[in-house]
Chain A
Amino acid sequence: MNSSGESVIEVVDLVRRFGDRTVIHDISFSVHRGETLVIMGGSGCGKSTLLRHIIGSMKPTSGSVKVFGEEITTMKEREIARVRRRFGMLFQSGALLASLTVGENVALPLLQHTDRSPDEIEDIVEQKLQMVGLSGFENLKPAEISGGMKKRVGLARALALDPELLFSDEPTSGLDPIMTAVVDQLTLKLTHGTHMTAVVVTHDMTSAFRIATRMIMLGHGDIIAQGTPDEIRTSSNPEVQQFINGEADGPIPLNLSQDEHEHHRHVKPRPFFAARNRFHHKTQ
């Protein structure tokens, strides 16, 4: 499992509570260089919250997260920014800047963090867009392309600085099966060829089993199961089987309880100064 030994990410005893609700319940795991870790789990199980703690945009209630051997939970913004230059992240919606063209979006990290000449940047942008099958789309605005295309541009942008570590939040949802395969192959090629490490959050089981070298399944803020794809596939845990086979009946409850639902409603932010409870109701 630990093929090359060196830990890129180390999460130890991570706990996150919002008020009296525990979203992440004492999670520990590590990711090694060159690995592709897939994090699975139903909606609202804490996947995105976990990812936000690893990239340093949320602080845990307790526990430690080390990225590239550095403790990210206690860092100042400026230090976090230094670590972030070494990784790329693909957002669920692509999160392209709507005011910039596709090409400018991909060029943005290069312009901000390197001293390359405009010609070099243009070459890199073209090459990255080609990797995701979008050559010639440089001059379109994000509003003029489809959701799946935006996501692929987001991937090109995440890869612009040739990161050592790539985070993907649902990289294949909204893509057609062929594009899903292309994105999966790209992830495989990068992790094998350049020893990039990937952490992928996904619901898409086909894609998950195609790219994963290791898998973690989350439920109610806990790790239910982890292991190689084969171990997960043959797991005797009924929740795991229900999830990977996509069955409606099983041990995973269909709905939040009434209490939890009420709780969600009550923490809806007040209109004017909403920031104080910014992540309360967005914890999937």
Chain B
Amino acid sequence: MVALTAFSIGVTLAMQAAHSLQQLGAEMYVPDLVMVTLLREMGPVLIAVIVIGRSGSAVAAELGTMKVSEEIEALEVMAINPVEYLVVPRFLAMLVMLPALTIMGNYVGVFGGWAICRFALNFNTAGYVLRALQSADTWDLYSGMIKSGVFAWLIITIACNAGLRVEGGAEGVGQATTASVVQALLAMLVMNAVLTGIFFFGA
């Protein structure tokens, strides 16, 4: 799913870039645009969207179900801290996996960009790779990774919080799951704008 999303994004980016840049006769900058946009913005944001839909909702639903079936209370009564036992492992997993998926998504996206450049714009492969690598510096990659880490923190905090606060049976679980997805998306997109501002327009 991540791969397919990333590939589509790479392809789309390349097509749009080609369309605009062709008018200026500057198709050779397509790889630059694909690479920088992916690393800085599209990669972290879109992979986060996928993970919110797939994992954030799953965590909220799972913890919510545990809450309504007294499992959380049972853990507490067994003197097992539910946050240590349930939230911490999910938090760590998210913190590792979201940036890892983002890196993978970046690769696939760049590959999608290559497909357009190679077959529609008649780039040769070496030229595309060289251009792409020249255009991006390590800060582009790192800024994307920092964003990804911050998103991971937001997503899992919101999902766990929603799950553990569920009240009122199956209906409550559904509501909490929906709420967690909506809140996580909003928080993630706002945070992305803030981080972009800090990283690229800050003092």
Contact = CB atoms under 8 A, between A and B. Distances in A.
Whether A associates with B in a native complex is: yes
Contacts of B78: 84, 89, 108-109, 112, 157
Interface string A245-284: 0000000000000000000000011011111001001000
Given A272-B179, A273-B165, A274-B167, A91 B81 contact: no
Given A92-B70, A95-B69, A278 B77 contact: no
A55 interface: yes
B165 A275 contact: yes
> Looking at chain A's contact residues, is the secondary structure mostly helix, strand, loop, or mixed?
loop
A271 B165 CA distance: 10
Interface residues of B, number: 22
Interface residues of A, number: 31
Nearest to A91: B70
Interface string B157-200: 00000000111100010010001000000000000000000000
B65 A98 contact: yes
A244 interface: no
Contacts of B168: 268-269, 274, 281
Contact of A89 (B65, B69, B71, B77): B77
Contact of B66 (A55, A97, A273): A97
Contact of A108 (B65, B80, B165, B179): B80
Of B71, B74, B175, most A-chain CB atoms within 10 Å: B74
A57 B73 contact: yes
Contacts of A95: 69-71, 73-74
Of A77, A91, A98, A272, most B-chain CB atoms within 10 Å: A272
A32 to B, nearest CB: 22
Interface string B60-78: 0000011001110111111
Interface string A63-84: 0000000000000010011101
B24 interface: no
A271 B71 contact: no
A274 B78 CA distance: 25
Contacts of B80: 108-109, 112
A89 B77 CA distance: 7
Interface in A135-186: 154, 157
B73 A274 contact: no
Contact of B179 (A93, A97, A271): A271
A82 B79 contact: yes
Contacts of A81: 79, 81
A272 B175 contact: yes
Given A84-B79, A109-B78, A113-B79, A271 B73 contact: no
Given A84-B79, A274-B172, A269 B167 contact: yes
B18 to A, nearest CB: 44
A269 B167 CA distance: 7
A95 to B, nearest CB: 4
Identify the 3 closest CB pairs spanning chains A and B, nearest first: A95-B74, A95-B70, A274-B167
Interface of B: 65-66, 69-71, 73-81, 85, 165-168, 172, 175, 179
Interface of A: 55, 57, 77, 80-82, 84-85, 89, 91-93, 95-98, 108-109, 112-113, 154, 157, 268-269, 271-275, 278, 281
